[in-house]
Chain A
Amino acid sequence: MSREEIISNKMDWVTVALYTTIVFLGWLNIYAVTYDPESKISIFNLTINSGRQILFIAGAFFIVMAILIIDMRFYETFAYIIYGLILFLLLLVPIIGKEVGGNKAWLGIGSFGVQPSEFAKFATALAVAKYIGSVGFRMDQLRNQVVLFVMIGVPMGLILLQKDTGTALVFTAFTVVFFREGMSPFLIISGIIAAIIFVLTLLVNEYYLFTGIGMILIIAIVMGKKKLKRILLLVGAAIAICGIIVSVDYVITDVLKPHQQNRVKALINPDADPLGFGWNVTQSKIAIGSGGFFGKGFLQGTQTKFNFVPEQSTDFIFCTIGEEHGWLGSLFIMALFIALILRVIFLAERQKNRFARVYGYSVACIFFFHFAVNIGMTIGLFPVIGIPLPFFSYGGSGLWGFTILLFILLKLDVHRMQVLQRI
């Protein structure tokens, strides 16, 4: 049997179909955004985003071919080298990169530019998978955990240097992978608690918070066993939380930059200044909200034209779905994404070696993070951190980065039985 036949027989066509559908629908929506009923430019016109997206999609096709042709052992063998190479590129960006829209995240070759940060995701996923998959790895060893957090921390830091907070935050998705591989849930839970406290600090006067914590503390002491050690622990925790509250206030006013503060404030109360910092969220909610149950129809949107919602074809592409296709269309698109992510988890679970499984989970978690944050921000559930909706948003680097992520997994999946034979 030739290699091509093996690939076509064992390829997971369900994933490929989901992928293709999402890419195609994304392209249609990019056109809907640029569509101006007064000028009627063709969807293939290269001067508008939908036309250029066609080229990016064609590029993605060649990338898929390349991934499928390369030997599957390449990805595990060269994982660290790829990771190192991408880190090197990330390092170059602040030095020789070009600035686009306030972020210095692009490496230009002539007029052609790529964002190395989009490719850092799959490189980090490979490196993390290789490390966890290595012989004798144990998640409960502190040393190993430290190494893993350094592995995701370094690209995060380098991307933060590019002032691209959104993409940097994507790397926190790896904690879910670590959780799956045995790390204590304590870290995730405390992270979530910290986030809740963070938001509460913004919402409620801190003295009310102190009073509330004090009352919870007293109840906890009275209700439970009255051991000194336990009481001291509870008091310590309460003081720590109060400390966090005070520091959050400090972080918000002194560490975050004004535009970041505004994004967080807009999340809490977008109506405070709907034409100022609440603009994005207000406009995006109006667009989605005006879609109703069935939507206004393809190309019939009135709110998602003329760039009134900023970053219309990249970060806020979901508004077009909401406005033109209503709740039903939103349900359909979200179902597609959830189906894709669950399918990726299914693929990850059926891998025969740990490297491939960890890699699969990384893919699922990165997709999910993008999906949740992107849609969450358009409907006002997350602060506006500019990250694209995978395969859907306009942009070449994003599409190619996600395509590489997904198809390396599919390649590994095709050969999952060979792995067993090899061992």
Chain B
Amino acid sequence: MNEGRKEIIQIAFVLIGVIFLVKLFFIQVLDDRYDKLAYSNAILREVDYPVRGLIKDRNGKLIVYNTPEFDLQIIHKEVKTLDSAKFCEVFSMTPEELRSKFKELKLKREYSPVKLTTFLTQLSTLDFARIQDNIDEFQGFYIQARTTRAYRAQAAANAIGYVSEISKQKLENDKTGIYKQGDYIGQSGIEAYYEQYLRGQRGVRFKLRNVDGVEKGSFRNGAIDTLSIPGQDITSTIDLDLQSYGELLLKGKAGSIIAIEPATGEILAMVSGPSYDPTLLTGRHYSSNFVLINNDTNKPLFNRPLMAQYRPGSIFKIAQAMVALQEGVITEETRIRCDRSVINCHGPHSNEDLRGAITHSCNPYFYGVLRRMLNQGKSNSPFDDTRIGLEEWSKHISSFGFGKRLGIDLPNEKGGLVPDPGYYDRAYGGRPWKFSNIYSIAIGEGENMVVPLQMANFAATIANKGYYITPHLVKSIGDSGKPLPQYLEKHFTTIDSTYFRVAADAMQRVVEEGTGSYRAKLKDIVVCGKTGSVQNEPRPDHSVFIAFAPKENPKIAVSVYVEFSGGGARAAASIASLMIEKYLLGATKRPQIEEYVLKGKFLH
């Protein structure tokens, strides 16, 4: 009854399969309409770049903002006829440049003839008007808007840092998957340290286009589009007026100025000299300018406040004094004869007490102080005795924040060096050492290494009478009104606060009647300071000065370090007092001191 039916079924099945294949042959092989549709009807994927967060100063003044810039993108497949002469004219390039651009294009990793690929980057706004008038003539080219950094003031370039395209290496090491080739990333300073807050989040828009490449609205009414989320604004601790003034004072000099608000650890100004114009590292000339700046023998990209390690010089005597007082090896009244046989001294004095010794920066006095500190007679062997003393000493000194990275919110900070017994063991290769081998650390020379930031932090610690808050550059992230939590924590030294009063008194006398009296003294404000002159035979000394003011309830602590410019009482003391005057009084009234600083040029 059912004979033949199984054949009918099988034939029907195969027949339908064959019909499908014929239909497929028509649409896949014979009809090239679909091929074209696939390229042009496809969905255009547009990246919506987020706006990077702004950076403001402590008073809300804008330091860094964004200006629009435009990239030219290409869908290579759509470029059929290109009027290259016209193209070169509109984009102001030579035919050779155009040819090499096309060559570069094909070598790009993300290159695909059917997808948007970046062709030219960072067309300036000026070019843009002309380009926009003509872009319709260049089929297959599209304009992609994004923003670039712009600066209100040529200030704090190293503290703020710059933004540029992510490097290949960084891209490969990036584990977050956030960055794509061609993305911009903070490369130094605040821009790098706060990258995760500043960058925001990118969005994607899908757009439909018809056969002619004309946009036909958003794909699925934007259901799968994502909006970009702008980065968070950052309020810096920098006082832009003070910072700019500092930049002016340090012009033509190598060194650094750091001003800190002692009670909060907020950095009011951080000047690195010589510096560079931050606008050079934005826009389409970034690469050539970067090479220029990077190869400058004055090293403008070297952020001296954190990276330059110097011997601290005489400012270190303040620390020595406090450590010795804490250890009880001297009192305020202790007098030591100015015996210039081992270490030389300067000025007419002979047998000072502690305050006098600081006022006149007496070298032999502190030689004697350190000897008492290191050789307390706790062991009969002079070697072991020094070792025990140095152990204690380095513990105290380190508690001021010396010899380790303070943890500022900038990359590439250096820690300096506080020598301890282990250090000398390595230095002497196991041979014994004792006080007579290491006494130069008594006056801040020798093996001590300090970065200018630590000096300013030291001044702030004295101003606070015993503690510091890690210096930092950002007051508030976004609307939080708060810095990162580590910048709210107090770090106490191992020294009693009464000894800080002694130090402050002595520093007041330094300014009023001692080494710093001529240039650092202010009429209405009690300034506490200490000079330092770091030896560089045969070149001139480095000029060093730390200070804080006013003495009661200090508002500002400063460290100034000017390379190869002579004694601490000269360039450094002048700059420090001018900074204090500017910050506390709003203006400076000592034109002769200002002129003295401005005409000093110590760059070679």
Contact = CB atoms under 8 A, between A and B. Distances in A.
Given A291-B28, A293-B28, A182 B34 contact: no
A322 B38 CA distance: 13
A292 B29 CA distance: 5
B100 interface: no
Contacts of B208: 275
B180 interface: yes
Nearest to B110: A38
Contacts of A345: 6, 9-10
Interface string A281-317: 0000111111111000000001100111000000000
B114 A342 contact: no
Given A181-B2, A345-B6, A330 B13 contact: no
Nearest to A176: B9
Given A288-B28, A326-B28, A331 B21 contact: yes
B27 interface: yes
Q: How many interface residues does chain B have, given as a range?
A: 35 or more
A334 B15 CA distance: 12
A88 interface: no
Interface string A365-404: 0001000100110010100000000000000000000000
Given A290-B38, A379-B23, A368 B28 contact: no
Given A285-B27, A291-B28, A379-B23, A368 B34 contact: no
Contact of A330 (B19, B24, B41, B216): B24
A179 interface: yes
A406 to B, nearest CB: 16
Given A286-B34, A292-B28, A182 B2 contact: yes
A325 B358 CA distance: 86
Which of B20, B25, B35 is most buried by chain A, counting CB atoms within 10 A of its CB? B20
B43 interface: yes
Given A286-B38, A292-B35, A322 B2 contact: no
B426 interface: no
Contact of B37 (A176, A286, A342): A286
Nearest to A181: B2
A211 to B, nearest CB: 30
A206 interface: no
Interface in B327-379: none
Contacts of B14: 338, 342
B24 A327 contact: yes
B9 A327 contact: no
B42 interface: yes
A2 interface: no
A330 B29 CA distance: 12
Contacts of B10: 342, 345
A306 B34 contact: no
B13 A341 contact: yes
Contacts of B20: 334, 372, 375-376, 379, 381
Given A302-B114, A334-B17, A287 B38 contact: yes
Contacts of B206: 306
Nearest to B12: A176
A181 B177 CA distance: 61
Interface in B33-78: 33-35, 37-39, 41-43, 45
Interface string B576-599: 000000000000000000000000
B105 to A, nearest CB: 17
A180 interface: yes
B1 A289 contact: no
Contact of B38 (A176, A303, A330, A375): A303
A141 interface: no
Contacts of A9: none
Nearest to B114: A302
A327 B29 contact: yes
B41 A180 contact: no
A289 B38 contact: yes
Given A285-B34, A290-B34, A308-B43, A182 B1 contact: yes
A349 B6 CA distance: 8
A39 interface: yes
Contacts of B37: 286, 289-290
B16 interface: yes
Interface of B: 1-2, 5-6, 9-10, 13-14, 16-17, 19-21, 23-25, 27-29, 31, 33-35, 37-39, 41-43, 45, 114-115, 177, 180, 206, 208, 216, 219, 224
16 contacts: A38-B180, A39-B177, A180-B9, A181-B2, A286-B41, A289-B28, A290-B37, A307-B224, A327-B25, A342-B10, A345-B6, A345-B10, A349-B6, A379-B20, A379-B24, A381-B19
Given A180-B5, A302-B115, 6 more contacts: A306-B43, A308-B219, A342-B13, A379-B23, A379-B27, A381-B23
